[in-house]
Structure 1
């Protein structure tokens, strides 16, 4: 706990023009703030009497950041020494913390900074809703201003899924994976649709997902199976007690590379992939991890904001929106399957869908006719999570 005020002391002694402000981030004890105030006020007596310090000095969940007033930036390195929850960085501070003042196309970003951006998106969305309400504007859900406000709320964390390609005959069928062969049993056999065995798309252990889930996601093994062209599908949850090796059934005899090879190259778009079409070796993609979070946003926010100027007569709010959306690249970041977050619009808009549980992007193992697919989720009246499925193509 000594590092914050030691860094502050060094910075204030080198640059007497420093000013101290409250920001958000990691938690620090109240005495750290008190000591930081004391050190800073030796150099700048004006600091100690500021309302922000008087209000927060005895709060346990606080911290500090130092910013320069005409001071060289190399003397100030306390970017994430944090603040009380609920206050916010301004857009200039966010831009200064980003490379080239823009979020990396991959969505990789420090957690504290990403949280600031998500919070700012919610704040601007709220300002837009208040503007509509205060001006008694009778906009329906399809109005550009209403839809843009909802788009901002989709800015969130997603968790890209890492996979390992493995021959289907060697995969552990109790593990989470894409493309199968999945766990099946007498109680949960390989499903059939329209006289054909369904295609295995996703098998995912929900207990592995729970630590990153925003809601209680439940337990058991989620499986998604699809019929021809993905028009028919089955999502089922196999209870944990059933998922035992002694309960596992053999794969039906007729399911092999030729079967899904025929489906992949002829009838369907999403079949069990093959490592080598001539050899017809069916493969699965075993899920290895999904712990690295990335920032997710719904496509070209800056492009969407251009149409708002005629609708929004609050010049200050327009400028705030312009500045905020300028930090986002024009494309959705993720081209890989990921949990939660958002997805790029093709045939339908993510704001018209339920929340994304699993975004099934084309790489590495799906086609979707150059499109994408999603397992969505929602909570019913009992608070239980239910799942749905949709896909779209170019």
Structure 2
């Protein structure tokens, strides 16, 4: 018995959708108003035959409720549970750090053992998580294009994303949401060696967006992604003011802003290591506070200088201040060690997006004990 997904829509009260995924001996239902995330319910059965029997019953009930059901589409066998979690831990993203960072970490511990005891634990609490949350990333190779030339089934930033009847263009408070990001999960999974599932993960921004509020994140399953099912691009009204304005240059002759180009991610380019470290010992305490030893003071200065050459500027080898797939990010209002794993990081002014003063943004993923992947989006500023 093969895994499958069943979709249904109903034109009543603004339109409703229903989605049923049968994976192994489990059923996952998602139902709600078209354009919303909907409510999700999971049912675990004793075996696959029981799951398929229950699925047939639920499908019959939806037909009786006047839902229009599209043909069943198969789902691949998924890597689940501990196997998925273990794969993520051993992935290319979380491979060994470069020798320069490993040497720096060793030097940090050697120094920390000899500084004044009153500052030792605090510095350990600051530096240890940052050394551990460093990760490998891939830099996007992008091309600015007119919106009508964007491949809506590919990786996209600030351009028209994939929509279809089952996954229409979302709206909030009567306004169409602005498209921000779309990532092909199969490509990302293959690159990073992390089982993120298949399909397109999307981030949409609401009208007058606020940091950390109301961003809409969804996954369009691969079985629903087809050029033949594309629905038209929604026209954004001129007074739409999401934080990402999606506007380009002001045209005096026309008296309005011209639409900014969208960005197609053509491929994922150079692999690079990213570290959230930014400040050395002296970024937290003075030399006089840390030690009375001139020799140790010189070691601390040498450590801080070495760290600065690696992460001090966005162009330095291991800086996290860039736009990239996976990797990590610099702490502003929240720290990497307190968050899920980042799938995509906006930082350093990539794509001319401005998140606020000294700000950044991330699309996060989380894999639970059963191998279920969820996605969230957030940003912060000074």
- Regarding TM over 0.5, the answer is yes
Output the CA distance in 1 between the equivalents of 2:109 and 2:356. 37
Paired residues of 2:247 and 2:257 also in contact (CA < 8 A): no
Counterpart-to-counterpart distance in 2, 1:217 and 1:328 = 33
Of 367-376 and 112-121, deviating more is 112-121
Structure 1, residues 148-190: CA drift from partner, whole Å, max 9, x if none?
Answer: 1111223332222221111112212112110121110111111
After superposition, residues 9-48 of structure 1 pair within 5 angstroms as none
- The residue that corresponds to 1:249 in the other structure is 231
Ranked by relative contact order (alpha carbons within 8 Å, sequence separation 6 or more), the top structure is 2
Partner of 2:209: 229
**Cα contact 1:125–1:149 (8 A) shared by 2:** no
The structure where helix makes up a greater share of residues is 1
Residue number in structure 2 paired with 1:349: 335
Q: Aligned partners of 2:369, 2:296: CA distance in 1, in Å?
A: 37
Which of 249, 253, 278 pairs up with 1:300? 278
Give distance in 2, aligned partners of 1:279 and 1:305.
43
What residue in structure 1 maps to residue 152 of structure 2?
173
In the superposition, relative to structure 1, how do residues 382 and 290 fare at CA in structure 2: closer, same or farther (>3 Å)?
same
> Quick one: structure 1 residues 151 and 311, their matched pair in 2 at CA, closer, same or farther if it must change by over 3 Å?
farther
- Contact kept, 8 Å, 1:186 with 1:247, in 2: the verdict is yes
Q: Report the alpha carbon displacement of residue 334 of structure 1 after superposing the two structures with TM.
A: 5.0
How far apart, in 1, do the equivalents of 2:304 and 2:195 lie? 32
Query: Which residue of 344, 364, 372 corresponds with 1:376?
Result: 364
Structure 1 residues 249 and 345, CA, compared in 2 at 3 Å: closer, same or farther? same
The number of residue pairs the alignment matches comes to: 268
Q: Tell me if structure 2 keeps the 8 A contact 1:125–1:150.
A: no
Q: Aligned pair in 2 of structure 1 residues 200, 124: CA closer, same or farther (>3 Å)?
A: farther
Question: Tell me, which stretches of 5 or more residues in structure 2 are unaligned?
Answer: 1-94
Equivalent of 2:243, from 265, 269, 287? 269
TM-score, normalization by structure 1: 0.58
TM-score (norm 2): 0.60
Query: What is the CA distance between 1:342 and its match in structure 2?
Result: 2.1
In the alignment, which residue of structure 2 is the partner of 1:364?
A: 351
Q: Which runs of 5+ in 1 are unaligned?
A: 1-111
The root-mean-square deviation of aligned C-alpha atoms, in Å, is 3.6
Q: Distance in 2 between matches of 1:241 and 1:163?
A: 26
Deviation at 1:273, TM superposition (A): 3.4
CA offset at residue 322 of structure 1? Answer: 5.7
Correspondent of 2:140 among 135, 157, 161:
161
Q: CA separation in 1, counterparts of 2:299 and 2:246?
A: 47
Do the aligned partners of residues 182 and 304 (structure 1) sit closer, same or farther apart at CA in structure 2, a change above 3 Å counting? farther
Moved over 6 A (4+): 124-129, 311-321
Of 305, 309, 315 in structure 2, the residue corresponding to residue 326 of structure 1 is 305
Q: Is the CA contact (8 Å cut-off) linking 1:220 and 1:239 kept in structure 2? A: yes
Which stretch has the larger CA shift, 324-333 or 302-311?
302-311
Structure possessing the higher radius of gyration over alpha carbons: 1
Matched-pair contact (CA < 8 Å) for 2:205–2:242: no
Change (3 A) 1:313 1:146: farther
Tell me which residue corresponds to 2:222: 240
Deviates more, 1:290-299 or 1:267-276: 267-276
Contact 2:130 2:277 in 1 (8 A): no
